[in-house]
Structure 1
Amino acid sequence: MIDWSKPLFLVIGTAITALCATAAVADNPIVPGQYADPEIRIFDHRFWIFPTYSASETTPDQPVVLSEQQREMRENPDIWSPFLKQTFMDAFSSPDLVNWTRHPRVLEVANISWAAYALWAPSAIQANDRYYLFFGANDIKDNEQLGGIGVAVSDDPEGPYRDALGKPLIGEIHNGAQPIDQMVFRDDDGQFYLYYGGWQHSNVARLSDDLLSLEPFDNGEFFKEITPSKDYVEGSFMVKRKGIYYLMWSEGEWTGPDYSVAYATSHSPVGPFENKGKILQQDNKIARGAGHHSVVNIPDTDDWYIVYHRRPLHSDDGNHRVLAIDRMIFNEDGTIKPVIMTDEGISPVTLP
């Protein structure tokens, strides 16, 4: 078993690789440090996780480089101080879901002229021979504030990612949904969709083939509200299995113990969705505040894994979040069994 509390690191260029014996089973948390909002993908026969940096302080190798405009944006007295630390994103890659390599600062505000803080909830996809990283920035509260959902591109999954537009892709509030917690989904027909939203409202939008603009729906509108439940809060995520679309999201206050994951189903990527209830919530013997997740399916199998953040039992700090992986199992009728949180984690997984 890996003792993640005592990692040794070898710095090779910009990649940091943990020097430890190959693990036979993963521990939860799966990596050292405080991270949240993990999205997992498979790129180039490796698993990749893109999370939000969630520690209250930056370390000496993580200086904040800001322009004068970005410093002015950070003068808002209403910004919660930990958000000021969220100025970059790390990524992690693994051949087996157990042994992880950290790739530091794959994206940072120094490369996003309109962003200054609250760099959140990345969503990655490979398309057009490039890698696209969607992100939220600046925690906007109204349409006068600069920020929202942006998109960055890179030739490699580990970055560095560069701002593709020089402005937000979605920079205003539509249907009451704060533009945060975006997730890009490619349907079987090749159409890209962007699911997002906070403040108890969820939207879906159609993306162009180059993923750099929005396309209207048949009725001419660009944003369709698909809020699946009165308890929806944030963290939309979409998967498709056997022709059924599973819209998943987080409920509860993100700084509290009742943060959790629920899901709904539909025969269409834009709904309507039928609420099926919660599948992940706190376990007073394991961890609290379990939410803002993503899901990965092992190709050519019906094996599924859920990656999520949770708060250690010993911590009451709302910003103290760590990453975990556990099994997610479907019933024969297509519903999802409640996820069992573990400290032991999972055994290594071999990609086909």
Structure 2
Amino acid sequence: MKKIFYLFLALFFSFPVFAQSDKKTSGNPVFKGWYADPEGIIFDKTYWIYPTYSAPYEKQVHFDVFSSKDLVNWKKHDKILDSSSVKWAKRAMWAPSIIEKDKKYYFFFGANDIQSDQEKGGIGVAVADKPEGPFRDYLGKPLIDKFHNGAQPIDQFVFKDKDGQYYLFYGGWRHCNVAKLKPDFTGFIPFEDGTIFREVTPEGYVEGPFMFIRNGKYYFMWSEGGWTGPNYSVAYAISDSPFGPFERVGKILQQDPNVARGAGHHSVIQIPGKDEYYIVYHRRPLTETDGNHRETCVDVMTFDSKGLINPVKITFDGVKPVTIK
């Protein structure tokens, strides 16, 4: 009988189901695989990260998503959208942004990396009934398929303002535009002066716009430098309006030669009801030279007494568990 008892104890304490609960921090990267341009967001008390599948352009024909209840343990949801569902998208499906409206999930993405108005591609929209999809092409064509104010139609970010109006910030090639979305996301509403695309490019802007509101102020953020280089980084500005003016304050995320290079193209998650923020971004391990070898990381983002963003310390540890109540 004693032998059976001791055998039971040995099996109980070695059983792997208990391993996950012992994880103290997320670690960076927060999940395996080469993923970049991550958008972090909360839906129904669950964290979601929607990244670019980081590979050669011809292989970037699908999106995966990752979910977590605590920022530490992540579950992968495979191929929530791919080019078989978007007939006009052939390659370079990039930098998703997602928003929930009226119990539908609208997924904005770039495709084809167009270099002129004569090429087919740009920014598209897909829709699903659940955050993990499956998503289907919403319009059957790109939402934006031309260059306006010099902005390449990539790197879109959907922003909901305090008054309920939705805007689309986007742009590569060192130009950023904002446009006012129709309520059904099928197109745009002209501004008072009749224009549709208003340029809001701050000094140093390259790509990857993101915006959030804190204490009534609009924090506009973007990526600088070259995406394959070690100088890739994130800077920001603060304004009283979503249209600026956006005067550059400075960099808050960049490489640490002891940790990783090329830290950039980020998003920000705020814990509901708390002044607690996390930055979700990609970076390149020190051991990697391939431009596509980028991984998704999460670190703490804080503010000083004046409301300025403190420089982010990029870590190998990542973040501690945080559940949403």
| TM tier, smaller | over 0.9
Q: C-alpha root-mean-square deviation of aligned residues, in Å?
A: 1.1
3-state SS in 2 of match to 1:110: helix
Q: Which residue of 2 aligns with 1:321?
A: 294
Q: Which residue of 2 aligns with 1:212?
A: 186
Question: TM-score normalised to the size of structure 2?
Answer: 0.93
Q: Which residue of 2 aligns with 1:106?
A: 80
Q: Which residue of 2 aligns with 1:76?
A: none
Q: Which residue of 2 aligns with 1:137?
A: 111
Alpha-carbon distance in 1 for matches of 2:19, 2:94: 30
| CA offset digits 1:35-66 (Å, max 9, x no partner) | 000000101110000000014xxxxxxxxxxx
Q: Which residue of 2 aligns with 1:247?
A: 220
3-state SS in 2 of match to 1:84: helix
3-state SS in 1 of match to 2:143: coil
Unaligned runs of 5+ in 2: 1-16
User: Structure 1 counterpart of 2:87, which letter?
Assistant: S
Q: Which residue of 1 aligns with 2:144?
A: 170
Alpha-carbon distance in 2 for matches of 1:228, 1:311: 26
Alpha-carbon distance in 2 for matches of 1:227, 1:19: 50
Q: Which residue of 2 aligns with 1:287?
A: 260
Q: Which residue of 2 aligns with 1:311?
A: 284
Alpha-carbon distance in 1 for matches of 2:223, 2:125: 23
1:161 aligns with 2:130: no
1:24 offset after TM fit, Å? Answer: 2.1
- Contact conserved, 1:177 with 1:197, CA < 8 A, in 2? yes
Q: Which residue of 2 aligns with 1:180?
A: 154
User: Structure 1 counterpart of 2:95, which letter?
Assistant: A
Q: Which of 250, 253, 261 lines up with 1:277 in the alignment?
A: 250
1:110 offset after TM fit, Å? Answer: 0.4
Alpha-carbon distance in 2 for matches of 1:96, 1:344: 15
Q: Which of 336, 339, 344 lines up with 2:309 in the alignment?
A: 336
Q: Which residue of 2 aligns with 1:40?
A: 40
1:348 aligns with 2:317: no
Q: Which residue of 1 aligns with 2:170?
A: 196
Alpha-carbon distance in 1 for matches of 2:126, 2:291: 28
1:321 offset after TM fit, Å? Answer: 0.1
Alpha-carbon distance in 2 for matches of 1:277, 1:222: 29
Q: Which residue of 1 aligns with 2:275?
A: 302
| CA offset digits 1:71-106 (Å, max 9, x no partner) | xxxxxxxxxxx1001000000000011100000101
Alpha-carbon distance in 1 for matches of 2:304, 2:166: 28
Unaligned runs of 5+ in 1: 1-17, 56-81
Alpha-carbon distance in 2 for matches of 1:157, 1:245: 26
3-state SS in 2 of match to 1:232: coil
1:87 aligns with 2:61: yes
| Alpha carbons of structure 1 residues 127 and 156: separation in structure 2 relative to 1, 3 Å | same
| CA offset digits 1:322-341 (Å, max 9, x no partner) | 01000000111111000000
Alpha-carbon distance in 1 for matches of 2:186, 2:300: 34
1:232 offset after TM fit, Å? Answer: 1.1
Q: How many residues align?
A: 308
Q: Which residue of 2 aligns with 1:59?
A: none
1:268 aligns with 2:241: yes
Alpha-carbon distance in 1 for matches of 2:45, 2:110: 27
3-state SS in 1 of match to 2:31: coil
Which structure's CA Rg is the greater one? 2
- Contact conserved, 1:41 with 1:296, CA < 8 A, in 2? yes
1:20 offset after TM fit, Å? Answer: 5.8
